[in-house]
Structures are given as structure tokens and as C-alpha cells.
Amino acid sequence: MEDVKIRKIKLEDLDDFYTLFSNWVRTQFPEYDEKMVNYLLANKNAYTKENYREKIKKQTRFLIGAFVNNKITGMLDAAPPNTGLSFCSWLIVDPDMQKRGIGKKLLKEWEEEMKKQGVHALYLVSDDRNITYYEKLGFTHIGKFKKAWFGVDTNYLSKQIQEPRGENYLK
């Protein structure tokens, strides 16, 4: 097993990160058609390269990568704590590197860091194909939001990681 290093995505990673990210979004989300993907990658309120540049500069996201031999092989993009919760927008592992524990490592890092920051629950959305994956990693399937974003049926999953405490979520 390769040595996988999980760390924050930095500005110097942006070019590589965005080339991989946009390619993965195009090829690994069969639930989104081409028009939806183009919207996600080109709309100024969505996931453009410039938006990621700003997010990295201003540190407004929890954005981490899994590096093998200094090459990005996976990424996780989540919101910082908000009233005790953190929402993960993207978790993607390079197709050639899947099923080697990289997704699990990225989720673990998110969980550990959010726990330190006082988050008591993580949540994310997924289409049907990944429900078992997240359940295996301790998430609970909350339910299905029919015709959610882009009109696509979406499952919500959550994981409580500690007891909610006012001193954390009210600060």
C-alpha cells in the first residue's frame, strides 16, 4: 500500500487540483448529465477554478487532498462548522486509486478535525450507489430527498461524532 498523505489543498496545488477535480466531476457522477456538470463547473456561484482560488486564499472551506508521491489522488471539500454541523459537498477518489482506503482516510481526517472544532454531526448527500459505503463508515441514512438539486433524487446521510454542546455550537 502506497504512503498516503492527507493535507490541506494549498494555492500552489490549485492547477493540478482543479484539472483533476473537473475531470472527476465530469466522469464520476453519472447522476449528473453534461449540462448539469457544465453548470457546476462554470457557474460563478458554483465550483469554478476562481471560486476555489478564493476559497483557498480566504480559508473558507475545509478542503483537503490525499497525496501519493506528491500527486493528488482524492479530495474532500466540506463547509466549516456551522451551529455544530459540517456538510461535505464533495468526496472523490481517483478511479485508478479507489478501494485502497483513500476515501476512508479523507473522511476520517474530516471527522477528526471537525470534532476538534466542536462539530457534533457531519452530513452529506449521495445517490443510491454510495449509501452502503457511507453506512459502512458509520453514517446513517436519513432519507431520500426526491427531486432535489437539478431535480435529481438525493439521499441524505449523517454521522453524530460527539454530543452537541452549547459552548461549541453557540460560539
Closest to ligand COA by CB, 52 vs 139, is: 139
**What residues pair up with 122 in beta bridges, in sequence order?**
86, 159
Binding-site ranges for ligand COA (CB under 6 A): 28, 91-93, 98-104, 126, 129-130, 132-133, 136
| Minimum gap (Å) between residue 117 Cβ and ligand COA | 22
Closest to ligand COA by CB, 131 vs 168, is: 131
| Minimum gap (Å) between residue 102 Cβ and ligand COA | 4
Alpha helices in the chain (DSSP H): 14-27, 34-42, 49-58, 102-116, 131-136, 166-169
| Minimum gap (Å) between residue 57 Cβ and ligand COA | 26
State the Cα–Cα distance between residues 155 and 126, nearest whole angstrom: 5
CA neighbours closer than 13 Å in the CB half-sphere of residue 112: 9
Closest to ligand COA by CB, 143 vs 166, is: 143
State the Cα–Cα distance between residues 89 and 36, nearest whole angstrom: 15
| Minimum gap (Å) between residue 63 Cβ and ligand COA | 15
Work out the end-to-end distance of the chain between its first and last CA atoms, rounded to an integer number of angstroms. Answer: 41
State the Cα–Cα distance between residues 67 and 80, nearest whole angstrom: 22
**Residue whose Cβ sits closest to ligand COA:** 103
| Minimum gap (Å) between residue 98 Cβ and ligand COA | 3
Q: Which three cell numbers stand for residue 119?
A: 462539530
What φ, ψ does residue 161 adopt, rounded to 5°? -115, -15
Closest to ligand COA by CB, 58 vs 99, is: 99
Closest to ligand COA by CB, 28 vs 59, is: 28
